Structure 1
Amino acid sequence: MKLVGAVITVSFLPLAALAGPIQSACLKSDRQAASRSLCTCIQQAADMTLTGSDQRRAAKFFRDPDEAQDVRMSKSDNDNAFWARYRSFGDMAEAYCAG
């Protein structure tokens, strides 16, 4: 019985509350091509390729593209490993979400 109540409660939550970090950042961006369906697709690609922590870090790139450049140019092993995962995400999103 409690499960039914939880399902009903969840159905009334705003969609943004259920969005992942990439989808939220995409929807908030000023990019003209950012639509709900495209941002949802990109989030799905992120869910397949990035951890939650990686998604939160990558979401910041929507607000500050210079941060992406800083990570890409970094000499840090952690940044390089993240960038490799981020590129895999980008390749997946491009293939998965291309119209």
Structure 2
Amino acid sequence: MKKILSAAVTGLFLVGPQSAFAGPIENACLRSDRAQATRAMCRCIDSVAQTALTRSEQRRAASFFSDPDRAQQVRMSKSARDNEFWDRYRAFGSTAEQYCAGR
């Protein structure tokens, strides 16, 4: 058992922390077809997301990269839950824009 765990931990270091611990926002950003989606930019946005959004909200926001219409549906929703999420998502977006500009 120790050998398996040791091999797994060693494998994480060989792969690198950036890919082993990338959050849902970073992964979605890197997979997007946006020219500005550099590793540094995506990592920065993900780090802001980790402080501004819950893990569940991060996964929800990550889905917007592949389905922008979903973001519009949430924005236009009359649901209190969606409106509360959208407020946090907009705050996250503003913070990420300020913090990650020029990366």
In 1, distance between residues paired with 2:33 and 2:20? 20
Runs of 4+ in structure 1 displaced over 4 angstroms?
none
Gaps of 5+ in 1: none
Q: Please state how far the C-alpha of 1:8 moved relative to its aligned partner.
A: 2.8
Q: With structure 1 as the length reference, what TM-score do the two structures score?
A: 0.89
2:56 counterpart of 1:83 = no
In 2, distance between residues paired with 1:62 and 1:73? 18
Question: What RMSD over aligned residues (CA atoms) do the two structures have, in Å?
Answer: 1.7
Contact 2:23 2:46 in 1 (8 A): yes
2:27 counterpart of 1:21 = no
Q: Number of aligned residue pairs: give it.
A: 97
Identity %: 58
Q: Please state how far the C-alpha of 1:71 moved relative to its aligned partner.
A: 0.2
Q: Please state how far the C-alpha of 1:16 moved relative to its aligned partner.
A: 2.7
Contact 2:12 2:20 in 1 (8 A): no
Q: Deviations over 1:54-81 (max 9, x none)?
A: 0000000000101000000000000000
One of 10, 13, 16 as aligned partner of 2:12 = 10
